[in-house]
Amino acid sequence: NAGVTQTPKFRVLKTGQSMTLLCAQDMNHEYMYWYRQDPGMGLRLIHYSVGEGTTAKGEVPDGYNVSRLKKQNFLLGLESAAPSQTSVYFCASMDRLNQPQHFGDGTRLSIL
Amino acid sequence: ELKVEQNPLFLSMQEGKNYTIYCNYSTTSDRLYWYRQDPGKSLESLFVLLSNGAVKQEGRLMASLDTKARLSTLHITAAVHDLSATYFCAVDGLTSGSRLTFGEGTQLTVNP
């Protein structure tokens, strides 16, 4: 049982480059989330989805886009990477309300 | 805007001692979650608290929720080294998507 899988695990980008982070879950969960974790700031929600084909903005959405074309996948895109987007990105999924979110192992992204 | 504050942010304690981590939040909610994160790892769900007065216990950890005071506590009993980790509380602001707002985390070190 893989749970929540994030790809890639590490990446280094140059300023202005674009990339997509992939999150895949095999638990048939409805809800999916993208967070970033920076030192001393806990986790902050970037975007989320309440079901296939839906997306919504979280607390810090600027500079990111998302898509959820299939229920099991939630993609996070950086159109033009900036050094301020250097962070650890976590994806999470949740079955239904009042259940805990299940987290992936994270993607460590550095932008030079 | 929901704000979640944890204290202390750093905690160094001896094995065998007891201590409490506090999580205060700023708006009405009766859904609170505790997570554990080991260095460089993902987040692991510890407790789900869904009502005023809720108390959950697992091993040496006990969590409680007082929705009137907007306060949750994570009590550690007779700490052992294996409990060394960062502990996060997260509050569901009862908005669309069951979005969580995380505290900054409490970095716990248990010394022999």
Sign of the torsion angle spanned by Cα atoms B26, B29, B34, B37? negative
Interface contact flag, A99 B48, Cβ < 8 Å: yes
Interface contact flag, A58 B105, Cβ < 8 Å: no
pLDDT confidence of residue A1: 61
Nearest Cα of chain B lies from the Cα of A18 at a distance, in angstroms, of 25
Portion 30-89 of B in contact with A at CB < 8 A: 31, 33, 35, 41-45, 48, 50, 88
Which of B33, B45, B105 is facing A42, going by the closest CB pair?
A: B105
Which chain A residues touch B if contact means CB-CB below 8 Å? Answer: 31, 33, 40-45, 48-50, 56, 58-59, 90, 92, 94, 97-106
Kindly report the average pLDDT of chain A as a whole number.
95
What's the mean pLDDT in A100-110?
97
Nearest Cα of chain A lies from the Cα of B71 at a distance, in angstroms, of 18
The amino acid at residue B95 is T
Nearest-Cα residue of chain A relative to residue B92: A98
Nearest Cα of chain B lies from the Cα of A24 at a distance, in angstroms, of 15
For B101, the 3-state DSSP assignment is strand
What is the per-residue pLDDT across A37-88, written as a single tens digit (0 to 9) for each?
A: 998 778 999 999 999 999 999 999 999 999 999 999 999 999 999 999 999 9
> Burial of B23 by CB count in 10 Å (0-12 exposed, 13-18 middle, 19+ buried)?
buried
pLDDT confidence of residue A25: 97
The segments of chain B whose pLDDT lies below 70 read none
**Chain B partners of A92 at a C-beta cutoff of 8 Å?**
43
Query: How many helices (H) and strands (E) would you count in chain A?
Result: 0, 11
Nearest-Cα residue of chain A relative to residue B105: A42
| Residue owning tokens 């908005």 | B95
Interface contact flag, A42 B102, Cβ < 8 Å: yes
**Residues ≥6 apart with Cβ < 8 Å to B25:** B2, B3, B4, B5, B32, B70, B71, B72, B91, B101
Interface contact flag, B45 A40, Cβ < 8 Å: no
What is the per-residue pLDDT across B91-105, written as a single tens digit (0 to 9) for each?
A: 998 887 789 999 999
The amino acid at residue B19 is Y
Query: What string of H, E and C letters represents the secondary structure of A26-42?
Result: CCCCCEEEEEEECCCCC
pLDDT confidence of residue A94: 95
Of all residues in chain A, the percent with pLDDT exceeding 70 is 99
